[in-house]
């Protein structure tokens, strides 16, 4: 009688283990029931049991016991402590095995932020401030404090950051983001400086940034960048003032969108009508193409250019030719 009871208990235990094994296998090899992709946030320092409970709370895993299966499986595989913090996109109807691979891989959701060519640093800061995926540690700080925070005190921020589209995970600090953009600009500038042509008018990489920022603001036509750089190079070599409106505009604190003759006469450190040479800092964030143009100005004889009003320019060798072009395109005569 006792033997029968023992064998019955053993039999029930075997059946229970078999049922558990079948249920576990079913769970790991069957797609999850979520019909839509969902976001899962794994906090730093979160235990796997807590992650499993969050999977249930977010309705990514429907049954609490399946969450326990996942925890047991993660421990069995030795990866329960290898989960990376971050925000994950869990595709619809993914298997638990693939879900575990995702959490171990650290392939978190990436956010996109585009720093636009020709923008000022103040516009960059507003763009970052409006992005809720960044961890904002620079709010309320001055530009000088920002530069100190990224490890470059005493540098003016204008022109120092590479315009580009950046991908980043939620929770990246604005300090880390700016460091990345700063280093991207520095790497590119260093590379282009080593490859500069002999006829570039600038003497330092920083002067190249300044000239490139002016080129960036002067034309929206890519094919004209090298030609405009050539005009500026020849004017600088001849000791002529650059006489470029974008620098004047940058120096006007209360600029209202219209540049007047009085603005051209008002002396500021950025007024290239009243002062010779380059302004003291860049006036915008230059693109790669503008930097390349500044360091490789196009040969030629033109010393002047004027806008046609469509973004392109007319180039002239002499002041008389230039004045005729101004009459035609600017004064409407």
The per-residue pLDDT for range 56-85, each reduced to its tens digit, is 998 888 888 888 888 888 888 888 888 988
Q: Return d(Cα 195, Cα 186) in angstroms, integer.
A: 14
pLDDT at 213: 98
Show me where the domains of the chain are located. 30-105, 110-190, 197-285+294-300
Cβ contact 150:179 at 8 Å? yes
Q: Hey, which residues does 66 pair with through a beta bridge?
A: none
Of the pLDDT bands very low, low, confident and very high (cuts 50, 70, 90), residue 28 is low
Average pLDDT, the chain: 89
The per-residue pLDDT for range 83-120, each reduced to its tens digit, is 988 999 988 888 888 888 999 998 999 999 999 999 99
Model confidence pTM above 0.75: yes
pLDDT at 333: 46
Which own/partner pairs from 24-30 qualify as long-range (CB within 8 Å, at least 24 positions apart)? Answer: 24/69, 24/73, 27/66, 27/69, 27/70, 27/96, 28/69, 28/73, 28/95, 28/96, 28/97, 29/95, 29/97, 30/95
Of the pLDDT bands very low, low, confident and very high (cuts 50, 70, 90), residue 30 is confident
Task: Give phi and psi for 270, each to the nearest 5.
Answer: -105, 5
Between 105 and 181, name the one with better pLDDT.
181
Q: Hey, which residues does 169 pair with through a beta bridge?
A: 110
CA distances from 157 to 132, 147, 208 (A): 23, 7, 15
pLDDT at 2: 61
The per-residue pLDDT for range 156-180, each reduced to its tens digit, is 999 999 999 999 999 999 999 999 9
Of the pLDDT bands very low, low, confident and very high (cuts 50, 70, 90), residue 220 is confident
Q: Return d(Cα 87, Cα 41) in angstroms, integer.
A: 4
Of the pLDDT bands very low, low, confident and very high (cuts 50, 70, 90), residue 6 is very low
CATH class, 30-105 region: alpha beta
């Amino acid at each position: 009688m006792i033997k029968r009871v023992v064998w019955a208990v053993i039999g029930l235990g075997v059946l229970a283990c078999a049922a558990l094994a079948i249920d576990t296998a079913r769970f790991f090899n069957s797609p999850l029931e979520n019909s839509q992709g969902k976001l899962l946030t794994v906090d730093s320092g979160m235990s796997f049991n807590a992650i499993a409970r969050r999977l249930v709370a977010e309705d990514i895993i429907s049954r609490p016991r399946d969450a326990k299966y996942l925890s047991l499986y993660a421990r069995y595989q030795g990866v329960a402590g290898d989960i990376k913090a971050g925000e994950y996109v869990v595709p619809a109807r993914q298997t638990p095995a693939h879900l575990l691979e995702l959490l171990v891989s650290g392939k978190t959701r990436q956010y996109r932020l585009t720093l636009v060519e020709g923008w000022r640093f103040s516009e960059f800061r507003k763009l970052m401030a409006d992005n809720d995926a960044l961890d904002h540690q620079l709010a309320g700080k001055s530009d000088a404090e920002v530069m100190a925070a990224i490890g470059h005190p005493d540098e003016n921020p204008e022109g120092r950051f590479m315009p580009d589209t950046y991908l980043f995970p939620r929770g990246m600090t604005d300090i880390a983001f700016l460091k990345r953009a700063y280093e991207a600009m520095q790497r590119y500038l260093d590379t282009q400086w080593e490859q500069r042509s002999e006829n570039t008018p600038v003497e330092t990489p920083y002067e190249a940034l300044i000239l490139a920022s002016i080129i960036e603001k002067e034309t929206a036509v890519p094919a004209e960048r090298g030609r405009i750089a050539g005009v500026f190079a020849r004017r600088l070599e001849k000791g002529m003032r650059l006489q470029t409106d974008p620098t004047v505009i940058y120096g006007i604190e209360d600029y209202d969108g219209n540049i007047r003759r009085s603005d051209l006469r008002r002396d500021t450190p950025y007024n290239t009508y009243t002062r010779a040479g380059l302004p003291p800092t860049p006036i915008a964030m230059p693109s790669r193409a503008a930097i390349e143009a500044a360091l490789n100005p196009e040969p030629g004889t033109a010393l002047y250019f004027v806008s046609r009003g469509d973004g392109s320019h007319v180039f002239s060798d002499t002041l008389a030719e230039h004045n005729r072009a101004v009459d035609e395109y600017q004064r409407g005569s």
